[in-house]
Amino acid sequence: MKDAIRQRARELGFDDCRFTSADPPESGPQFEHWLAVGMHGEMAYLQRNALKRLDPQQILPGARSIITLAVSYSEVEDRESREEGSRRDGAREGGVASGRRGQVSKFSNTGVIARYARFADYHTILGARLKALADFVNQAGGEGARSLWYVDTGPLLERDLAQRAGLGFIGKHTNLIGRRLGNWFLLGEILTTLRLEPDASEKNRCGSCTRCLTACPTAAITAPFQLDARRCISYLTIELKGPIPLELRPAIGNRIFGCDDCLAVCPWNRFAREGSMMKTQKRADLETPDLLELLSLDERGFKRSFAGTPLERGKRTGLLRNVCVALGNVGDEQALGALQKASSDQAPLIAEHADWAIAQLRARVKK
C-alpha cells in the first residue's frame, strides 16, 4: 500500500512522501508554552485551534496515519540559489544587506519577495494534487476509508509531523530542513483512517551551526529552535495587519513580502534539487519588483497583478504598507513623489507608513 501511494505521489509531482502515525505530536507542551507567552503575536487562529493541533483525532476521528508530502521550489540554476548556502551575512539581491542593523549598501527602488511567493499560489497547485492523492488513498483502502488533506491551512503542527515521518528535521530557525531538499520546499498532509506503517523519524542535524540565528535581521530567532514571531519579517509583512513597529522598520530593508534570510544561509541548501510541480508556475514579474510601480497600484490594479498568487493574501493595504517601508529604507530621490502621493492614500495605514518613509528618505538625502 505504501509503495503504491508513493508511486502515485511521484506521478502527481510530489518530491517526497513519508508516513507517520496519527498520534499527537511530541512537541505539544512546547507549542502550548509558546502560545502562553504570546510569541504568536496576532495569529489568533493558532490559539483558537490549539486543541486540534495537539491531537489529530480532533480533526479526523478514527485517523490512524498521516501522509506527509514535500514539493520543492528550489531553482538550482539560479545564481542566488548557488551562492546562498555559503552566505553568512544573508546579503540580498537589490543592494540590501540584511544583517541585524538593516543597513543598505546602495539605494534602489527594487523590492524582494520571498522565494515561495514568486510562483502562482501553492495552495491551489498542491491542493488539486493532494485531493487526487487522497482520492487514490480512499480507493485503495476500500469501503469505509476516509481521508482529509491540507496545504498549510489545517490545524496541524505539520513540521513536527513531517520530522516524525522522516521528511526532514526542524532546524534551529524552526523551519523544516530536508537532507535532499534543503530549505526550499512546501508541505502538504493527508490524514487517513488507514493503518500504514510509520517511516523512521529524522533526527536533528544542525550540529554546532548557528548561521540562521546570526542572519536573522530582527533577532527573531531568540535561541536555537525558538522563534518570536512578533519580530519575524515574514510575520510583520504578511500576518500583521496593523502598523509595523517603528523600531523594526529599518531592519526590514527592501523585503516587501516575507523573508528568506534564515533559510538562505543554511548549508543544507547545497543538496537542494529542483522539483517539477512548481517549475512551470514561476512568476517572472515577481523576481525584482519595481517598488514605484507597486506603490501606484489602485485596488483594481492590485487584484489584476496578484490574483492567484500568495501576495493576494496581504491585500493592497498590507503590500503598499510594506512598499512604503522598503522605500524608506532603500529608495532614492525618485521615490519621493510617489511617497508623497501615497501619504494621501485613503487607507490610513498606507498614509502613515508613507509619511515615515518620506522622513527617512529626506534624512538620508541630506547626509
The catalytic site residues sit at 152
Local structure of residue 237 (DSSP, 8 states):
I
Helix (H) or strand (E) holding 364: helix 348-366
Q: Which residue has the cell 493541533?
A: 53
170, β-bridge pairs: 176
Torsion of CA 232, 161, 124, 110, to 10 degrees: 20
Burial 70-102 (b: 16+ CB within 10 A, else e): bbbbbbeeeeebeebbebeebbbebebbbbeeb
Contact in structure between 104 and 97 (CB atoms under 8 Å): yes
Of 98, 154, 111, 97, give the one whose Cα is nearest residue 130.
154
Query: Mapping DSSP to helix (H, G, I), strand (E, B) and coil, where does residue 277 land?
Result: coil
One-letter amino acid of 54: L
Contact in structure between 326 and 254 (CB atoms under 8 Å): yes
Cα(146)–Cα(139) distance, integer angstroms: 9
Q: Which residue has the cell 497547485?
A: 125
DSSP for 45-103 reads HHHHTHHHHH-GGGTSTT--EEEEEEEE---TTSHHHHHGGG-SS--BTTTB--STT--
User: How big is the chain by its Cα radius of gyration, in Å?
Assistant: 21
Burial (CB count <10 Å: 0-12, 13-18, 19+), residue 291: buried
